[in-house]
Structure formats: C-alpha cells, structure tokens
Amino acid sequence: MQTSNEAVLTFDNVAKSFGGVHAVAGLSFSAVAGETLAILGPSGCGKTTTLRLIAGFEEPDIGTIAIGRESMIGKRPYERNVGLLFQHYALFPHMSVRENVAYGLKYRKWPKAEISSRVDEMLRLVQLEDFGGRRPQQLSGGQQQRVALARVLATKPKLVLLDEPLSALDAKLREELGAELKRILTEVGSTTIVVTHDQDEAMSLADRIIVMNRGGIDQQGSPSEIYSRPATRFVATFIGRSNWIGGTLKLNHSGGFANVVMESGTVLTTGNPGLGDEVAVKVGIRPERIAIVGTQEDDRMSGANQFPAMVVNAISMGAENHYHVICSAGTLMVVEPGGRGMSFSRGDRVKIGFRAEDCVLFPSRDAA
C-alpha cells in the first residue's frame, strides 16, 4: 500500500432514502490516496447505494461528498473522474476485447496512437495480451472480469469503484482472481473502494475495512483489528465464527479483568468490557482461540478459563479440524489446523482452555 494522508474521498453525514427505506443513513468516512478500502456488509445494507452516490448516479438527501477537495454535489457522473466496475460485468458483446478496453479513451478523445499503447499496457497488466481480438462471449467469466477491470483502469480514474468484483465467479476462481486483483491494484497504486458481502474478499483485498449495518457504519479498521477486536456484536457475528456464551457480568476492579457467571454457575474470566455490574452479557470466543488437550489432568494449558470437556462431534475439513465439545460453559466449537489427521474423536474426554483476553463481551440485548 502506498498511501499519503490526503483524502481522495470524503463522506460527511450522507443519507439517502428510497420511499420509506433508509438505504444509507448518516455515513461519514474517508479514503486516503493509494489505499484499498472495502465496504463490507450483508445484502441490502446500502453498499451499492454508497457506490452509486460516489459515482453520481444518485444524489444524497443530506450530507456532502467530496473527491479530493472538490464537492461532488450536483456534479454529473462524467464530471467525477471515477471508474465503476458493476456488480455484474457488462462488457459490450459486439466489441472485441481491445475495443472494450479502448471505449472510455475514445469517449475522452485520446489520440489514436496513445489509445493503442494504453490498451496494450492494460492488457499486459491483466495478462490478456493475446486475447485482444476476441469477443467477450469467447472468454471465461474470470477473463471477462479482467477485461472489465482493464476497461475501468484504462482512463486512470482518480477513484476506482468495484461492486462485488468476484461474486459472479466460482470459489476457486474467486480466490485466484482475488490475488490477481490485489496485485493489479497494488501495481497501479489506485485509490479503490471495493464493495462486498464476502468477508474473505474484504480481508484479502483491503488495507482497511468499513463494516456497514443497515445503512450505517458499525466499525472501521484494519482487517486484523476488525477480526480480533470487533466493536459490536453484529461485527463479531458477521466476520468469522464465534462461540457465544450467555451470563451475568460481575465487575472486578483488580487487574482489569471481569468475571461472567453463567446460568450453570460456571465462572469465566474475561477482559473488562466497560459495562455496568450485573449486566446480562454474551461472551464471544473464536473457535481457533480455544486450545484442546487430550487429558483432563493435563496442566500444560495456560489461560484463565479451563474446563473438562467431552468431544461430541469431530469433522475433518481438510485444512482444519472441527470439534464440538460439551463442557460446563455449554457446547463449543473448537477449530485446530488439519492436514495431519484428527487429534480427537467423538466420545474422547479432553480439556479445553481459552484466555481471558481472547473473549469479547457485548450486552445480551445487542442484536447479532
């Protein structure tokens, strides 16, 4: 990532409704030069609307949008210098690959020779040098998407907007093209906003992620911050897997830790979440943060929360082994790296443990 602190895009309290639907509700964020910013959220949370507002296909009801230092309010889409790759690729079927990539350059009346060398450069960038003469229908889905990307990047837009760029592809191709897309965006050094409902896509492409929920922002941060320190229960459930354990918080002012007493009477030690005493809470713990050892007497385990447990389900997923265990904290999912066979089987008596600092706490009333 090559970033400076210069804001290329600024949203200030932007809202947009359609009839009674608040598609975007008071959004404020900015994107800095050279970064790839992912807007991640479930279907209908307002991602495409956000992109359409940036591109000028919608105008905000309230709030301001600036590109660089210039307000975009009232500016037509063609006055904005943004490149938008739509949710479903839309190449012109009657044009060759070269003509598709050249389209925006012709529209901008670039000289012929410059168009030709820019198209060559773009086809090299997306590794389709030998495909210039083909029609879109003679290409695979992944190749079509690379042509669409070349077409967007050709005009050197100030901002590149990608709406679910990999969603039309199957899982394996999605992974390959995702890595390719990351390489291309890094090489070009463009400022990019990528919209997706797929957490893996956001994690792998983005320098920074904005998690959207019902038209607003729940959290912004680096992929690892969002994963390890989710700001809301929604973020913690939407991104990655978590075990949730219900209980009542008992504040303990020594050492920054707190206790959570579960219905069973079992006590968990957790970080202090800054909530009031006696609040009903849900404790979240990632399955890969739970350690599992083979005997209940094993004392190698570190961490405050240790429980005898029984394996009730053991599944090999190839790269990971998944276990379900029953303990006094409830039924928990535990994930360990796979590839070397299973360490435990159904019926095994084991011990599990996790650290207080790996627990996240939210009030029970918060929506997941």
Ligand X SMILES: Nc1ncnc2c1ncn2[C@@H]1O[C@H](COP(=O)(O)OP(=O)(O)OP(=O)(O)O)[C@@H](O)[C@H]1O
Q: Which stretch of DSSP H or E encloses residue 14?
A: strand 7-18
Token pair of 266, please? 């079992």
DSSP secondary structure of 172-190? HHHHHHHHHHHHHHHHHT-
* Residue 59 interacts with ligand X (CB under 6 A): yes or no: no
Q: Of these partners, Mg ion, ligand X, none, which one is at the site of residue 46 (CB under 5 to 8 Å by kind)?
A: ligand X
* Residue 21 interacts with ligand X (CB under 6 A): yes or no: yes
Contact 281, 367 (CB under 8 A): no
φ, ψ of residue 32 to 5 degrees: the values are -100, 160
* Residue 157 interacts with ligand X (CB under 6 A): yes or no: no
- Over the window 229 to 258, marking each residue x when it contacts ligand X by CB under 6 A and - when it does not, the resulting string is ------------------------------
Contact 244, 223 (CB under 8 A): no
Taking CB under 6 A as the binding criterion, the range among 16-24, 290-298, 330-338, 349-357 that sits at the site for ligand X is 16-24
Question: Which positions from 187 through 206 interact with ligand X, judged by CB under 6 A?
Answer: 197
* Footprint of Mg ion (CB under 5 A): 48
Contact 125, 184 (CB under 8 A): yes
* Residue 56 interacts with ligand X (CB under 6 A): yes or no: no
Which residue of 8, 9, 15, 23 would you call a contact of ligand X, by CB under 6 A? 23
* Residue 15 interacts with ligand X (CB under 6 A): yes or no: no
Q: Nearer Cβ to Mg ion, position 192 or 269?
A: 192
Entry field: residues in the chain = 368
Least distance to Mg ion, CB of residue 262, Å:
40
Token pair of 14, please? 């932007």
Which residue of 2, 43, 137, 302 would you call a contact of ligand X, by CB under 6 A? 43
Per DSSP, what are the bridge partners of residue 269?
A: 259
Residue 161 exposed, middle or buried by CB count within 10 Å (0-12, 13-18, 19+): buried
Which residue of 8, 15, 37, 45 would you call a contact of ligand X, by CB under 6 A? 45
Q: Which residues bind ligand X (CB under 6 A)?
A: 18, 21, 23, 41, 43-49, 197
